[in-house]
Amino acid sequence: MREMLFDSILSQDIAFFDEETVGDLTSRLGSDCQQVSRVIGNDLNLISRNLLQGVGALIYLLILSWPLGLCTMLTCGTLSTIMLVHGRYQKKAAKFAQEFTASANNVAQEAITLARTVRVYGTEKQEFKRYAKWLDKLYDVSFRQTMAYGGWSLSLNYLYHSTQVVAVLIGGIYIMSGKLTAEQLTKFTLYAEWLILSTWWIGDNWSSLMQSVGASEKVFRLMDLLPSRQLTSKGLRLQKLEGRIQYADVAFSYPSRPSVPILRRLNLTLHPNEVVAIVGLSGSGKSTIVNLLLQLYEPTNGQILIDGVPLNELDTRWFRERIGFVGQEPKLFRMDVSSNIRYGCPREVSHEEVEWAAKQAYAHDFIMSLPDGYNTIVDDALLSGGQKQRVAIARALLRDPAILVLDEATSALDAESEHYVKSVITEVSADKAGRTVIIIAHRLSTIQTADRIIVMENGSIVEDGKHSELIKQDGLYSRLARRQDDTLP
């Protein structure tokens, strides 16, 4: 079940992860799946067994004495009514308990992940209070569940002993009138006890079942979600990806903010082997252009064409295999450096190729200084921002992509690594790299040699040209450049 749920989660669109929290999803994969497993492996089996035992005991009771059997049935009917009410309450309470647990897990995960920030700002007590708030709510629900179970058990004990007393009294009268023998009354008492106990056990199992159902509602809802169209559709595969990219009247708003337009009827064409830099103020839509190209989101209106073919008609996996992407905050998996560089590469690569990519990204020297070189286990906490960025660049170059996207890729680089990025731009400009390069830039010093510079403002293109041309226009780009003296000639 965990495998099915995990597969369903990974198959969702990126918009799904914008709305869900990591703590909530990990809680569903953990305790919620465990609850469901208990239902399948234990509760249903016990309910079936006790139900068969109870039905058998009831039939025998009616054969011995139907008036006494009806009296026992009345008791079991009352117990069943209480059981259903109690089970419904436990289902609702369990749903709240799992939600509170997921919220507490999310707070804990945030605090632990951002431990350095918490320590620097001295907010340990604040984070503890956030965590304790959800635990207090969880305690309240658990206390109510315990009280409800206590009421259920008390009702059962009362009805159980009352039935025994009534059965003995009525049975005694029947014995005196000759309608029943002492042996029959003894058998009746034993089978009545068996029937009531079976009802009791069914009630306990039913309560547990309802708790599991309440806790697992979101698990099944997540499993029922349809996978992303991109992962299920089999689209076109071009003989060769030239790298011509066209945005035709593209408009876009993020699903979480549908009323806020990010791109407004964008028209932009990128030619094969062209180096295009995209700059602008924060929120102007620079990174959104890349997100749409990577099919992390779908345009609200308009379409994107790749070599003249609509992007949504291409095989998504095939297309992504031909894109290299380096983001502003690259993430490393907890595995050795070599595996991190190989990650996502659609073909088998040798260690020599890994080293080549690392050297191209100016990562080889620092990798060799690690305790085990390329076999050193790393994660986000063990390398500096610049080192992680260079590993990410090596990962992208190893794919030998037809389209290379650098999204604020120089923001965390030192001077040497930034020099490499400039060299890449120069090589592509001279038609040596044979790929289309898109650079989302904040530091304008890295894009002066780009073939074109696109300037974005409020989701639209306001300037388009080379560095020298845009400087002379005295527009937005020129103002941005003046803020960074090193970009001026």
pLDDT at 292: 92
Mean pLDDT of 289-295: 90
Give the confidence band of 444 by pLDDT, cuts at 50, 70, 90. Answer: confident
Q: Which of 55-64, 136-145, 259-268 has the lowest mean pLDDT?
A: 55-64
Distance CA 447, CA 441 (A): 7
By CB atoms closer than 10 A (0-12, 13-18, 19+), residue 195 is buried
Write the single-letter amino acid at 477: Y
pLDDT at 154: 82
Q: Is the pLDDT of residue 487 over 50?
A: no
Write the single-letter amino acid at 312: N
Whether residue 100 contacts residue 108, with contact meaning beta carbons closer than 8 Å, is answered with no
Strand, helix or coil for residue 153: helix
Distance CA 46, CA 62 (A): 24
In the chain, where the domains are located: 2-224, 245-487
Give the confidence band of 226 by pLDDT, cuts at 50, 70, 90. Answer: low
Mean pLDDT of 112-140: 83
pLDDT at 281: 86
Q: Is the pLDDT of residue 31 over 70?
A: no
Domain with residues 2-224, CATH architecture: Up-down Bundle (1.20)
Whether residue 57 contacts residue 123, with contact meaning beta carbons closer than 8 Å, is answered with no
Q: Tell which wins on pLDDT, 281 or 423.
A: 281
pLDDT at 485: 62
**181-219 confidence digits (pLDDT tens):** 777 777 777 777 777 777 777 777 777 766 666 656 666
Q: Which of 159-173, 236-250, 273-287, 395-409 has the lowest mean pLDDT?
A: 159-173
Q: Tell which wins on pLDDT, 322 or 49.
A: 322
Which of 212, 203, 204 is closest to 81 using CA atoms? 203
Which of 452, 420, 430, 423 is closest to 439 using CA atoms? 452
Superfamily of domain 245-487: P-loop containing nucleotide triphosphate hydrolases (3.40.50.300)
Give the confidence band of 38 by pLDDT, cuts at 50, 70, 90. Answer: low
Per DSSP, what are the bridge partners of residue 304? 247
Give the confidence band of 90 by pLDDT, cuts at 50, 70, 90. Answer: confident
Mean pLDDT of 129-150: 89
Name every residue whose Cβ is closer than 8 Å to that of residue 279 and which is 6 or more positions away in sequence. Answer: 286, 440, 441, 442, 444, 447, 453, 454, 455, 456, 477, 480
Q: Is the pLDDT of residue 482 over 60?
A: yes
What are the two backbone dihedrals, phi and then psi, of residue 362, each rounded to the nearest 5 degrees? Answer: 55, 35
Whether residue 315 contacts residue 279, with contact meaning beta carbons closer than 8 Å, is answered with no
Which of 371, 369, 374 is closest to 356 using CA atoms? 374
Distance CA 386, CA 151 (A): 62
**227-257 confidence digits (pLDDT tens):** 666 666 678 889 889 889 999 999 999 887 8
Name every residue whose Cβ is closer than 8 Å to that of residue 251 and which is 6 or more positions away in sequence. Answer: 261, 263, 264, 265, 266, 299, 300, 301, 302
**346-397 confidence digits (pLDDT tens):** 888 899 999 998 888 888 988 999 999 999 998 777 787 778 888 888 898 8
**311-343 confidence digits (pLDDT tens):** 988 988 888 888 988 887 778 888 899 999 998
Q: Is the pLDDT of residue 283 over 70?
A: yes
Rounded to the nearest integer, the mean pLDDT of the chain is: 80
